[in-house]
Amino acid sequence: MPRLITPMMASLRRGLPHDEDRYGWEFKWDGVRAIAYVTGGQVRLLSRTGQDMTETYPELAVLARRVKGPVIVDGEIIAIGDGRPDFGLLQSRMHVRRPSGRLVLQVPVQFYLFDLLHHDGQSLLPVPYTGRRERLAELGLDADPVRTTPWYPGGAADVLAASLAHALEGVIGKPLASAYHPGQRRDWIKIKNVKLQEVIICGWKPGQGRRADTIGSLLVGVRDGPRLRYAGHVGTGFTQAGLADLMGRLRPLYRSDSPFGTAVPAPHARGARWVQPRLVGEVAFTEWTSDKVLRHPSWRGLRADKNPGQVHQAG
């Protein structure tokens, strides 16, 4: 059984394709992508960047007792809040390598499976999407905390409408006859209900009032060719616990000058605390301005599973 399969990715589309009946449609889950390797009665969980997350989510070890033979499955680790995936809630688990039993009980996670890549000595990467989904269903893994997600042949508009009605992030379309291409953005497409953008934290401004002793806003950027481009400042969407965690992570990254390769507006540059551009986060926003700055961004949380060098403007 292979020790590492890099997840296949989806390319962002602005709307549904005209040949939507050529695809199988799934809901887009708001969590952390994970590949699970199950063999010898043990589970190994790796992120999309190859980071080992096994100890972070001990409740998912139950997967080893539910399958026979070596298995590799692809899916999303999520936390449920108010009846839907809550990425902010998942943040309290993502950065804890060995969570306490109390935290596991307070913030349980689920593993939503949507692909089967290897089973009982056979690679399923060349098998069509429909075949892989059939084999995944046959494993009978749809019981908490592991779920086999639904998929729908065609009917994209209805699936997208359902995702919007349930406040989900959007949908993923996968050609029915497509193979699985590790590490590639090929064939799969995604359509989002809300605009999300990965950003690199490059600095922060002190807050005022109740936030006088902590972060008032983050100065964030994206890669634009060889340079790091200023993309705006984010001052909403934080929790007190999240701010405390960010302060602890940013202090050791202090630097005396701006890491941006483009100008930062004077009001935001004035009094800024600059940091090494090593941390990646995610924001929700309404649109990009003509100056390529995020309009009305709101902080969603850190993305420890993302590489700063791969953070570009998504759309």
Please give the helix or strand (H or E) that residue 271 lies within, else none: none
From the DSSP assignment, how many helices (H) and strands (E) are in the chain?
6, 21
Please give the helix or strand (H or E) that residue 245 lies within, else none: helix 240-250
CA distance 82 to 108: 13
Could you tell me which of 21, 11, 112 has the C-alpha nearest to residue 315? Answer: 11
CA distance 120 to 126: 15
The catalytic residue among 28, 174, 190, 192 is: 28
Q: Are 273 and 203 in contact (CB under 8 A)?
A: yes
Based on the residue annotation, tell me whether 28 is a catalytic residue of this protein.
yes
Q: Are 234 and 283 in contact (CB under 8 A)?
A: yes
Question: Which residues belong to the active site?
Answer: 28
